[in-house]
Structure 1
Amino acid sequence: MIRFILTGISKLPFSLLYMLSSTVAFLLQYIVRYRAKVIYRNLKNSFPEKSEAEIKQITKDFYLNLTDVSFESLKLVSISKEELEKRVRITNIDVPMSTLDNGQSHLGLTSHLCNWEWLLQICAVQSKYPIDAVYKPLHNKKMDTFVYNLRARFGAHPVAMKDTLRELIKNRKTVRSMAMVADQTPPHSEIQHWATFLNQYTPFYVGGDKIGGAMQMPVLFVSMKRIKRGYYEVTFEILKNIPIAKEGHEITERYINRLEACIKEQPANWLWSHKRWKHVEAKIVRKGTVV
């Protein structure tokens, strides 16, 4: 029943879809107050220089971003390649294509900034090479299958995080892209690197360093910005070319710096409802690592 409803919503025209999104955003912010305390705390700690009025405006814009991204992602059930390409423009497709055309697979690091689901799909549509997308499976099996099929619709290959190394080894002789959303919070037991990010000490996954170093794959940063409602722009840049050191966290640090700059440019478009700093109170830090 839920999948039937979601599929029905996806077939609505964009004008109605955004009207629905605006209504849900209002309800989440003012009636349900969805994670209101978490969002406020995250924004205040990240932008101590901003006034209450500025924080309030970012919060309002964030709720609309959150619901827009959710409904836009549902639209992947029915959206055409042509419509997707009209709404998401890649500014420099030559950057990722240059490494692939030279016979070199690469790793792309992105974030929960703007619509990461549309980002994967536009890359799958415009690349003639396979794309593996690392993801965390949902606990609900039916919803996991629904989301998996959305992500695979235009040819991307979703890979469960626990299977990443196996897939890399299996496909090491095939030129391909691997995509990873790298701004998630690692479990406390898996934290290997802390950094100052948005004025707070923050744990990060170090998959970029590990995969880049182990597989000797160039690592790219993939940014996304909203041009206007329902329209986005994607830009690639090389974080690190090979050879890549097998030790250290240079790639992670470069990723953090670029991500912070992108968030500051369009702060409402990041996922502020996520409990990004939930491990900070329990940390013991020495030279940037947990001991």
Structure 2
Amino acid sequence: MTATPATTSPAFPWWVRGLAALPLPLLYALFAALAWLVRVAVRFRWRVTVLNLDTAFPQQDARQRHGIAVANYQHFGQMAAEMIAATRMSREELLDRVEFRNLSLLRERLALGRPVLLLASHQSNWDWGMYAMAATLGFPVDVAYKPMKSAAADRVLCAMRQRWGVNLVPAKDLLSDLLQRRREVRVIAMLADQSPRTSEHQRWLTFLGRDTAFYAGPEQMARATRYDAVYVSLRRVRRGRYVAECLPLAEGSAALAPGEFTERYARLVEADLLAAPSEWTWGHRRWKHVRPAGAAEVS
């Protein structure tokens, strides 16, 4: 049974309900202005964004990197407008705006009673991709997430996602949840492209031409559960329209060499990023950790 979004409820604060009453084109205009203020006046994460782009694209000139940075703020303004709009949007409208390709890759496995690990990245409007997956798949969609530092913002984001039937599992509890509910037929989704904490298991590999730490957790979970793993590539085709393509990542029965799972994931993330560099999360401190001299591939 597919999820049907709940109607707008008091779970959303007054300002969300007020903004959601506006037509989407007006929301786009409003958040474009806000994105400009955040970039030019507040300069929120501007230095981090520029530093990351300098690191990732040293072969490009400063003007090209600056253009990507400006477009990145515009992208997040559009994404914010779309998330607000989704608090009132119908299932039919959302699924008209997010087109799935090769969804049978998931459906066939789930229909056979096989849970699936789904990996994606912080690319394009990943929230709409998450909502649309829960709205169309017909099986539970559980998503690992890390609570935000702001409790108020965290409540709003959780309410937005839960409206579409997305079940949120704190990332720190994900492995125990997987083992306790191992036989439950569902999708377990993770966005694992951001920098892991130093206390977390890491795998070091080359990403965008430099040493980069990735979470080792998804690979460990795939080994522990032997679930099939699927990657979802999300691309914006034009404003408010997306294509989500399901791609095979690993078969649960396959005996992969250590690190190969994470390597495959990193290459898929990298391909999406290079295809649309302005739609990734450059404001995140992706390279805040330096690989220790002599460190093993996995730490």
The answer to whether TM tops 0.5 is yes
Q: AA paired with 1:10?
A: A
Unaligned runs of 5+ in 1: none
Tell me the TM-score normalized by structure 2: 0.91
Answering whether residue 235 of structure 2 is matched by residue 221 of structure 1, we say no
Q: What is the rounded CA distance, in whole Å, between the counterparts of 1:60 and 1:76 in structure 2?
A: 25
Answering whether residue 297 of structure 2 is matched by residue 288 of structure 1, we say yes
CA deviation vs aligned residue, 1:255-280 (integer Å, no higher than 9, x gap): 00111111001000000011111112
Q: What is the rounded CA distance, in whole Å, between the counterparts of 1:253 and 1:96 in structure 2?
A: 21
Q: What is the rounded CA distance, in whole Å, between the counterparts of 2:60 and 2:17 in structure 1?
A: 40
Aligned residue number for residue 130 of structure 1: 140
* Cα RMSD, aligned residues only: 1.8
Equivalent residue for 1:248, pick from 240, 245, 258 = 258
Q: What is the rounded CA distance, in whole Å, between the counterparts of 1:28 and 1:53 in structure 2?
A: 20
Answering whether residue 55 of structure 2 is matched by residue 35 of structure 1, we say no
Aligned residue number for residue 183 of structure 2: 173
Aligned residue number for residue 264 of structure 1: 274
Aligned residue number for residue 189 of structure 1: 199
Matches within 5 A, 1:84-103: 84-103=94-113
CA deviation vs aligned residue, 1:138-178 (integer Å, no higher than 9, x gap): 23333322221211112121111122122212322221110
Aligned residue number for residue 15 of structure 2: 5
Aligned residue number for residue 112 of structure 1: 122
Q: Secondary structure at the match of 1:186?
A: coil
Unaligned runs of 5+ in 2: 1-9
Aligned residue number for residue 73 of structure 2: 63
Deviation for aligned residue 1:235: 0.5
Moved more, 246-255 or 198-207: 246-255
Deviation for aligned residue 1:246: 8.3
Q: Secondary structure at the match of 1:185?
A: coil
Q: What is the rounded CA distance, in whole Å, between the counterparts of 1:169 and 1:7 in structure 2?
A: 38
Q: What is the rounded CA distance, in whole Å, between the counterparts of 2:292 and 2:22 in structure 1?
A: 47
Moved more, 229-238 or 240-249: 240-249
Q: What is the rounded CA distance, in whole Å, between the counterparts of 1:204 and 1:279 in structure 2?
A: 11
Deviation for aligned residue 1:247: 7.1
Q: AA paired with 1:109?
A: L
Aligned residue number for residue 152 of structure 1: 162
Structure with a larger share of its residues in helix = 1
In structure 2, relative to structure 1, the CA distance for the partners of 1:171 and 1:199 (3 Å cut) is: same
Q: What is the rounded CA distance, in whole Å, between the counterparts of 1:191 and 1:284 in structure 2?
A: 17
Deviation for aligned residue 1:284: 3.6
Q: Secondary structure at the match of 1:99?
A: helix
Q: How many residues align?
A: 289
Deviation for aligned residue 1:59: 1.2
Q: Secondary structure at the match of 1:275?
A: coil
Contact 1:104 1:175 in 2 (8 A): yes
State the percentage of identical aligned residues. Answer: 33
Deviation for aligned residue 1:108: 0.5
Contact 1:135 1:158 in 2 (8 A): yes
Q: AA paired with 2:52?
A: N
Deviation for aligned residue 1:18: 0.5
Q: Secondary structure at the match of 1:221?
A: strand
Contact 1:208 1:219 in 2 (8 A): no
CA deviation vs aligned residue, 1:88-145 (integer Å, no higher than 9, x gap): 1112211111211122111001011011111110000111111111001123333322
